[in-house]
Copies of this chain bind each other. A is one copy, B any other.
Amino acid sequence: MSIRIGILGYGNLGRGVECAVAQNPDMELKAVFTRRKPEDLKIWSKTAEVLNISELQNWKDKLDVLILCGGSATDLPAQTPECAQYFNVVDSFDTHARIPEHFAAVDEAAKKGGKVAVISVGWDPGLFSLNRLYANAILPEGKDYTFWGRGVSQGHSDAVRRVAGVKDARQYTVPVESALEMVRAGKNPELSTREKHTRECYVVLEEGADAARVEEEIKGMPNYFSDYDTTVHFISEEEMKREHSALPHGGFVLRSGVTGKEKENHHLIEYTLKLDSNPEFTSSVLVAYARAAYRMAKEGMAGCKTAFDIAPAYLSAKSGEELRASML
């Protein structure tokens, strides 16, 4: 019998989950829940029903895992604990600083409901976190580096869009190649924010807007841009649509460490992602962890889990025997 999947929220991430479920023969998408009127939502899958979010509770026994595809700012802090009382859930909560409180709230709800709730699985947090943990456990003496990009940062793009006179904007985070090379060479550099990443903005101006003022305002924006070398390119609406409608991303996690009696031997562990579609890749991670949630729940586990707490084999549709024979 297939793993019965539900989706809550049908934005980029929800659509990505829909595609990812279709790539996994042991799963079936059963329902998409939305805050909109269901009749206004066209989905791609033939098998799934579209329902208003108010129907959720009626589906308690009809889904094995509910994948939460809302945002980390306001949706997930409320939705994940709420839903974890009734469903095994998976989310991609990515506000790093607030993960401990999110974990506590979700853990309480999931334990109350006897459900498994997997939080913060995507690529960062998620796969990058896993690589930080493994690399730190193996090389206790060393230094960690994470670089992001080249890729579109939604948060920074939104920040540019809020500048008066900006009609549309896309912001790329770009790792500084020379910094990356220093890390790979084992030089263990101390890198400032500015030395690790640059920021590239592509901006469509509103008619009559003052380009110089807009550029200055972007570059001076605290937190978002003032600590970086930022370039601003003004482009047409057509070019924006043609060249910048995809959402690529990626990055690098490195650990540079030493072993030996005199710490004389150097080792480098590097993990790289190059993603054409950030939301579709994140969705693929969510779906793999949905399988894990389903299997852990079947074994009687309950409570909140992160990628750290989940044995890798739970993510795969293959049995232990198959995995040992084919992938070990």
Contacts and interface: CB of A to CB of B under 8 A. Distances in A.
Interface of A: 16, 19-20, 23-24, 44, 96, 99-100, 103, 120, 125, 127, 129-134, 136-141, 184, 259-261, 264-277, 280-281, 283-285, 288, 291, 306-313, 315-317, 320-321, 323-325, 327-328
A309 to B, nearest CB: 5
A137 B99 contact: no
A321 B100 contact: yes
Given A133-B327, A309-B311, A312-B308, A16 B259 contact: yes
Contacts of A16: 259
16 contacts: A19-B259, A19-B260, A129-B327, A133-B312, A133-B313, A133-B315, A136-B316, A136-B327, A137-B312, A137-B317, A138-B284, A139-B284, A259-B277, A269-B273, A306-B328, A310-B312
Contacts of A127: 134, 138, 269
A141 B287 CA distance: 14
A269 to B, nearest CB: 6
B288 A323 contact: no
Contact of A100 (B20, B130, B260, B325): B325
A14 B235 CA distance: 62
Given A133-B315, A281-B259, A281-B267, A324 B103 contact: yes
A197 to B, nearest CB: 20
A141 to B, nearest CB: 6
A328 B268 CA distance: 20
A262 to B, nearest CB: 10
Contacts of A285: 138
Contact of A328 (B99, B272, B283, B316): B99
